[in-house]
Structure 1
């Protein structure tokens, strides 16, 4: 008689919520998956995507064996080879590249496909191996970098509120975040606050499903968030509601920042943001007199040329209002500032200093000096800017490309070798939710299928093939987990037993009660570090590229933003038939006035284009976007959607801080397809 066993695990995806889950295993097979009801934050709920995770594990297109290219690059033509042959041939090629060109000719291109400390991005999995080879450093800047830097200039850390304390907020600003799509577990705490009388405002260029549920929606012009923050603070000053005692005791640079606020009266801010002056004033009055105010801002808000400055100014708001005094007051962007750093990457193994190559500059970076591109937990042909140039670079016959993957993505089609990768229920890992205060354990529930290897085991076997003798290259997964958890005073036994452990912080948590981790020990309205980096000394408004470009100078008239799709996580799950069906195909949302002037009707196939290229999508005519703005949800694989991916149009430019990407800061136009053009995405 077969018995069912529950196995505690964690969602690995690039989402702030990092759910604790329970896998039901029967006769060695995973037969059920549900959220862990005992987890204090995620409370048993999984999202629409992860509810289908076991379908993905068993998907017919899963890569289960090593593949070697037999056709032209980009053709996706491979032959199956044995794991030993693949690792032997790859090891020999890596050795020859290092001997002939030096280790820096290798670019280990790691993504956020998993955020684990053992297998993924949080622990920089594989970096010890790459350091031993002297490979180039990979700057994984694609997600949160500009916002992280902006927050550090003010608070000294990207860490802020414990999101659970939103239940105590009385005014909640959901700023540039679609909570019900990208981190829906926070909504339970928002609902708790509303039950106690809280007022909820969504500030977003799109009227999202979250905005529909808020008490108020402010459809701000893309890239003008810092101006709005200054305008709201101008009203706070008009009301005489700044917390002078808090400013005096806990901040520095107030006089200069106050002068910056005074330069942004609501009338001017209305012109900049496209919002009615009376609505700016009304929210400013509410902000002035409501304690505590909690602000939730996530990564979308900082993906433009002024993104770091936007988060910097927003971070100043609770310094003016004194909200950091209160549980439920402040800003929540990422709790990663409280998390461990992960296993020691052993940078001392590097034979000499090496260059750094930037993730979002892949098209520029793939020049002749790069002889090997090693892609893992990433799908740059679906997720990275300026895809047409990346595609051309990947077609180089002299570029040795290895992709570790679970599915045959567009990027896989350009590989010389494909190594099959495990999925979350098949390997050990430990995670931190960057939207909550818990470490979460992932126990392997089943054996890997076929010849799939975990990230760590792949690099251990390659190290052996290459004759590398450094002992730390062979640390076990449990060793790596122990090294991570020890940094925050949590034992493996505690985390493993219940599937999670709270970080060693107070509950409720007031993050800066003992001061700020800045050079001054105070919240810094003025930053010497920012000034030394060539940035403005005082926190202020830096407009996005599109916001600062006059209409007459615009190469194309519409501003495109690329929000998260409800059914995909970046490009993950975009090969799931049911989720692709629910996505209703690649879409571009167009305001009725812009649609009418272009002869576009709802449901029509159209081309979206600029100087970088084009993609095709179905038009959704809607007043959910303002005139002059279009929204094209990201996530579709080009190969499964007739090339429909908006990143083909995204410039390979940098934000103002951290070389962050600019996914929401590009000009485009939209036109109907001609009668001769065909568009039949494989939905």
Structure 2
């Protein structure tokens, strides 16, 4: 694939260095192998027994990776420690990573010991954004913060104090955050940048539920259609042990549908390109072929679906040649995939967040249309078939994988400060959070506590958000580095890394808990302890008569984790010895006790039993090719129609004339989701990552070489990429992975990342657990949740 390559020999050298076994051996970025890359080491039983461990270590501690998100769900590192110093850091064989580490994990030691870490509490002494700070004590920091919070509580009310938090490195953080908000009447949300709400809603409308296949389930699939997902990079362990193993050892065919020829596509049997936001049209093109060639399962359609005749009529409008004009997908490939999917059984549709990143109706109609193909072909009810959503922490039927009970610590918790009456809190509602953060409507926050997330580097329309956040009187940021959000904070608090605290994480089918390897460095503290000590201060300032420990009794990792493990909400029943000391002895993880966490559970079968009837928790009890409730309750299309994104070559042709390229800002990298952005340049804290990957050294934009030459650009040139919403400057990289019509813009680059993405969300109104509603601009807020637009926006590129 042109210029975006490295040799097999170079990659194998690099991957051996990292202990990586990801099943990807070509087509990656050009790499310069850092001299700092670590060589592998394996201790023998004799060395462990005699205490002669490599590097003079006196012990080995198994620690769950906390370098980022997604790929390292249950990745475990071997941490070799000598005299409270880490002397070696590598992959642990007991973890799901089986001894390997992705590039993020391989950066662990450089992040932990980075000289740029936030070491002490800091107070701003200059103008916001000036970078002028002074070191203060924890006592002073908590005094300042609690004074501001108490003033807000006694003034406009506790609803004007909010805790914003990102993905949790440890499940303890989310639990104590929920408790703090419950006790003091605060608002609480997980950032104004939801990334998969539409993905789950579309599936719910069709099937009534959704799930994520376990690694072993893929081994039963004969066909795996990976749609809008790049697991070889985003989820390398699951790719290696699940999907790619299904191909290599069990003969499964793999088809990849994506705007880019991804690393996953390299290993596939078929690749189909697609224009962002046209997934529903492609699904209808597949349905057209399956129906017109008589390949659909008539018996299944009659028994288990509703709305077939209307669906059939809709599909007639989408013959492959017309779909090719809309989607970029070649008509012959559409026919070939349709025949494969209808005849190769079992087949699974493995759908990622690339499908829903266009927001608006196009975002949820993609997964809606994709799941209708299941009803057409009967690809459900056996292992290896169905719909596998990229992530599935909770589900409408509450039959998802382990979702840690964040609310468990709020049950029975005292209410010291009642919630403000008549106010709709943003808790659990990205839409309300957007309204308050971006527009200060119906009110703005007086105090914002930002824990473990960098919302100014992740949220859309960051220029709009920054201007709005500058109006918040008091902001606290807790992190390991001074990031973009921290740069406009009033107080900075240093938090510990994953090797300096106990980590508890429950996701997918297993729970993992690992102990700290070393004590917290500098003056950093675990997040849960910061929350507890802040609660102590608030009790003091509010003149609460009870001892502060009454409200936050947990001051040690072990005590807090034991309290959470004892929760009745935790789906881990059947383990009488389940406590901290027990679970840390199982770095491989402990499988949940619920039926659907067990191997062999079959989704959409009664009780998960393959011999019992099919069950679909929809209003009709069947797969809804026509979901009438969408129209009746919310005025949405009942059929899985194709709707163009709100700006596209077809929906806004006049805009397309000025902005003739289609932008994609959220492409997974090997280092994606690495959460340590530095304010110095908006980049990454790991020298290894910066040295190894060109796209991590500086902001880059990827262009097809032919398009770049047409624009008068050479590789390495600085160029502007501009949309209707802003522009950013980046280094041009040639890539034959993408078609000439597409440009991949910088992602996760602090100060500039999302300036060019639209201030646009699709907004949902609550429908029980699931949420949906009319789509619109931020001025038409409805309720509960919103999907940001990261792909499909129109832009142009020109030389800087």
1:486 and 1:221 mapped to 2: Cα distance? 41
| 3-state SS, counterpart of residue 201 of structure 1 | strand
1:535 and 1:570 mapped to 2: Cα distance? 37
Structure 1 alignment gaps of length 5 or more: 639-644, 674-683
1:68 to 1:481, Cα distance in 2 relative to 1, 3 A: farther
- 1:392 aligns with 467
| 3-state SS, counterpart of residue 689 of structure 2 | helix
Are residues 1:568 and 2:631 paired?
Answer: no
1:32-71 correspondence runs (5 A): 32-39=88-95, 41-71=96-126
| 3-state SS, counterpart of residue 260 of structure 2 | coil
Say which of 129, 140, 153 aligns to 2:180: 129
1:18-167 correspondence runs (5 A): 18-24=73-79, 25-39=81-95, 41-112=96-167, 114-120=168-174, 123=175, 125-138=176-189, 140=191, 142-167=194-219
1:16 to 1:52, Cα distance in 2 relative to 1, 3 A: closer
Offset at 1:570? 5.3
C-alpha contact 2:716 2:732 (8 A) present in aligned 1: yes
2:314 and 2:591 mapped to 1: Cα distance? 40
- 1:176 aligns with 228
Are residues 1:557 and 2:684 paired?
Answer: no
1:635 to 1:553, Cα distance in 2 relative to 1, 3 A: closer
2:335 and 2:630 mapped to 1: Cα distance? 30
Are residues 1:445 and 2:517 paired?
Answer: yes
1:18 to 1:361, Cα distance in 2 relative to 1, 3 A: farther
C-alpha contact 1:383 1:570 (8 A) present in aligned 2: no
Offset at 1:634? 1.1
Offset at 1:366? 4.4
1:354 to 1:136, Cα distance in 2 relative to 1, 3 A: farther
1:627 and 1:248 mapped to 2: Cα distance? 44
1:225 and 1:666 mapped to 2: Cα distance? 15
| 3-state SS, counterpart of residue 217 of structure 2 | helix
In the alignment of these two chains, the number of paired residues is: 659
2:446 and 2:724 mapped to 1: Cα distance? 29
1:77 to 1:219, Cα distance in 2 relative to 1, 3 A: same
Structure 2 alignment gaps of length 5 or more: 1-50, 394-399, 607-614, 678-683, 764-771, 773-784
Are residues 1:659 and 2:786 paired?
Answer: yes
Offset at 1:484? 7.4
Provide, for residues 258-317 of structure 1, a one-character-per-residue CA deviation record: whole Å limited to 9, x for no partner: 333333222221121022211111111111111111222222321113111111222222
- 2:699 aligns with 586
Offset at 1:22? 3.4
Larger CA deviation: 216-225 vs 626-635: 626-635
1:527 and 1:239 mapped to 2: Cα distance? 25
- 2:424 aligns with 354
1:398-477 correspondence runs (5 A): 399-433=473-507, 436-467=508-539, 471=550, 473-475=552-554, 476-477=559-560
2:500 and 2:574 mapped to 1: Cα distance? 24
Are residues 1:629 and 2:681 paired?
Answer: no
Offset at 1:21? 0.6
1:34 and 1:516 mapped to 2: Cα distance? 45
- 2:256 aligns with 202
Offset at 1:630? 0.5
Larger CA deviation: 270-279 vs 134-143: 134-143
Offset at 1:17? 4.9
Offset at 1:93? 1.0
- 1:536 aligns with 637
1:216-615 correspondence runs (5 A): 216-305=270-359, 306-333=362-389, 334-336=391-393, 337-344=400-407, 346=410, 349=415, 350-351=418-419, 352=421, 353-356=423-426, 358=430, 359=433, 364-366=438-440, 369-396=444-471, 399-433=473-507, 436-467=508-539, 471=550, 473-475=552-554, 476-478=559-561, 479-483=563-567, 486-489=570-573, 491=575, 492-493=578-579, 495-499=583-587, 500-504=589-593, 505-514=597-606, 515-531=615-631, 532-547=633-648, 548-554=650-656, 555-562=658-665, 563-569=667-673, 571-572=675-676, 574-584=684-694, 585-615=698-728
Provide, for residues 356-403 of structure 1, a one-character-per-residue CA deviation record: whole Å limited to 9, x for no partner: 26355675244662211211111122111111122222333x620000
1:544 and 1:87 mapped to 2: Cα distance? 46
2:646 and 2:230 mapped to 1: Cα distance? 23
- 1:679 aligns with none
Larger CA deviation: 485-494 vs 442-451: 485-494
1:231 to 1:116, Cα distance in 2 relative to 1, 3 A: farther
Offset at 1:461? 0.8
Offset at 1:520? 4.1
- 2:767 aligns with none
2:138 and 2:738 mapped to 1: Cα distance? 50
Provide, for residues 393-433 of structure 1, a one-character-per-residue CA deviation record: whole Å limited to 9, x for no partner: 2333x620000111011111111000111111222232234
Q: Normalized against structure 1, the TM-score is what?
A: 0.90
C-alpha contact 2:57 2:87 (8 A) present in aligned 1: no
1:427 to 1:540, Cα distance in 2 relative to 1, 3 A: farther
